[in-house]
Amino acid sequence: MKTPLALSNGLRVHLLPYSGTQAVTMLVLIKVGSRYEYSAINGASHFIEHLMFKGTKRRPTTLDISRDLDAVGAEYNAFTGKEYTGYYVTIEASKLPLAVDLLHDMIFHSKYDPKEMNRERRVIIEEIKMYNENPVMHVEELLEQTMFDGSPLGWDIAGDAKRMLSMTRKDVIAYRDQHYVPSRMVIALAGCVDKKALALVKKTFGSVKGRHTPVAFQAFHGAKNHSLRCRIEQKKLEQIQLALGFPSYGVADKRNAAVSLLATILGGTMSSRLFISVRERKGLCYHVRAENGTYDDVGAFMIRSGLDASRLKDAVKTILAEVAKIKKTGVTARELKDAKENYRGRILLKLEESSARADWYARQELLLGRALTPEERMREIDAVTLREVQHVAQEILDTTKMSVAAIGPFADEQAFLKAAGLS
């Protein structure tokens, strides 16, 4: 287990040096995302992420920020999830002081100029349209709206146009000030990095006054009923986008190692059961995939596919047959061994990049309060048994608790359910 360095203000820092690279990634993760919002400011976490690039007191404009980084060939960006927000810079190691200074400047000294805010509102509305008009991406949002109906977990991360235009600068800044505090932050520096980097972080991020801000999110207590929940978006498409969802476990649950392997065997690779049965044998789709996502208190196991509209019923029947089969008979020793090797290989390849290594440690530290090394994580994966995989399949893949989302040429939910053979 990798122990972070704790600064006096509560901020945690992971220094992750390794050889063979001249680059370093600095990642700052903050424990705030859309599930911490209230209805009137849904989208504020994502809005704040955008506004961090719109100018500070020392770098007054977006150009002043981007020009500093572009001049040294740095890669930089930010992202917002439902439970965290991240900012990162990957840069030549000798230029690390610039990355540290700039991220500190953006996160703690952005101006939130009203004119820039109003301009950015329009940019985000266009971004919302872009995602909503991409069926492959939007079907996942529809599914989580269905699975987590009544909870902020079901809200779109970017919010909607109405709230984006109506939320006030005062409310946005108050929300930021509540969450953007050192005790809710983790920094990871990975790559060509030494202890000099810690001095840079202490001088900048370590100088921010620490304060305790008790923050709670609305826990998800499960669906209000156990009947099949369905959400349809009518759109004239030749290929239907379908997503099936099953509640799974929270991020800290020890059973997630088995769930990861279940997702790989069921639909995580081109040799997975769903890929072979739905695509290769029957030619019913181009893509089909199973994956598991986790939040603090609940997870979402999803099966997603793009399907031939004329053969929807056959495709759904085939998918659910594979679900039933894996629950009834479990997986084979060969499948489990291959899934473990697949996990190992993906992790080893991914962690060659400094950005992935920073993310590996920072995300665990932020969400779990501890950070396993890749070797420790692999020992957890290697310890999973055939019975454990079948047990989580039986617990999670309960069709009485299934949610469905689809985008396609259906007038309403009943029309879709009939076409899919689910009514």
Known catalytic residue at 49: yes
CA angle 33, 302, 405 (to 5 degrees): 90
**Tokens standing for 393?**
């399949």
Cβ within 8 Å of residue 338, ≥6 positions away? 271
> In this predicted model, what pLDDT tens digit does every residue of 31-68 receive, in sequence order?
999 999 999 999 999 999 999 999 999 999 999 999 99
d(CA 223, CA 110): 40
* pTM of the model as a whole: 0.95
> In this predicted model, what pLDDT tens digit does every residue of 214-227 receive, in sequence order?
777 778 877 655 67
**Tokens standing for 98?**
């610039």
**Tokens standing for 249?**
């476990």
Instruction: Read off the pLDDT of each residue in 154-182 and give the average, rounded to a whole number.
Output: 97
Task: Please check whether residue 29 is in contact with residue 361, taking contact to mean a CB–CB distance below 8 angstroms.
Answer: no
At residue 215, what are phi and psi to the nearest 5 degrees? -130, 130
Please list the residues that pair with 256 across neighbouring strands.
Answer: none
**Tokens standing for 332?**
């084979």
> In this predicted model, what pLDDT tens digit does every residue of 239-261 receive, in sequence order?
999 999 999 999 999 999 999 99
Cβ within 8 Å of residue 238, ≥6 positions away? 309
Among 49, 144, 322, 388, the active-site one is 49
Q: What confidence score (pLDDT) does residue 226 get?
A: 60
d(CA 306, CA 285): 6
Q: All domains of the chain, ordered by start, with CATH?
A: 5-207 (3.30.830.10), 231-419 (3.30.830.10)
> In this predicted model, what pLDDT tens digit does every residue of 100-132 receive, in sequence order?
999 999 999 999 999 999 999 999 999 999 999
Give 92-120 as a 3 state SS string.
EHHHHHHHHHHHHHHHHHECCCHHHHHHH
Cβ within 8 Å of residue 324, ≥6 positions away? none
